Structure 1
Amino acid sequence: MLIYALYFAFGCYGLGLLFNLWRIARGPDSADRILALDTIVINVIALLVLYGIWRGTTIYFEAAMLAAMVGFVSTVAYCRFILRGDIIE
């Protein structure tokens, strides 16, 4: 039964990734694209955790933590670049 729930979750998060890619391609401004990129990072984290559950190993949970840290820093850097024109003052 757990395997069916994992397949369903993989499908939902995969569909969410496709919708976010559509938002990046068709976003009316850069703020929508930034939010879509941040949501893609969240979906990738969820997919890594689900894959770790499916495989039964903990290495993917550590990879999800690394993706979360890199995703946060990249979102902040991109927002600062959009607002100020540079990242480092």
Structure 2
Amino acid sequence: MSTEEEEVIEEVREEEVGEEEEEVLRGFSIDALELMLSRVEELERYLRSPPPTTTTYVEEVKKEPEKEEKQPPKRSRRKKKSK
């Protein structure tokens, strides 16, 4: 791998800001921060939900039928009447 293709990874620095002592993370792109936020929200939803049971799993499987490939409807061919 050439040096041009390698990603430059910056060391993350945490700084305290103001009296509230908020932590500011530097060195992350907006996309990376949004990805982290979505992952945290997903984990929070998972932790708040009740633990899965076998019945719940079975009900979920029944609700989601297998995806079958839809075939286009066959067109009927009419014979032309000859005069």
Calculate the TM-score normalised by the size of structure 1: 0.29
Q: Which has the higher helix share?
A: 1
Higher strand share: 2
Structure with higher Rg: it is 2
- TM-score, normalised via structure 2 length: 0.31
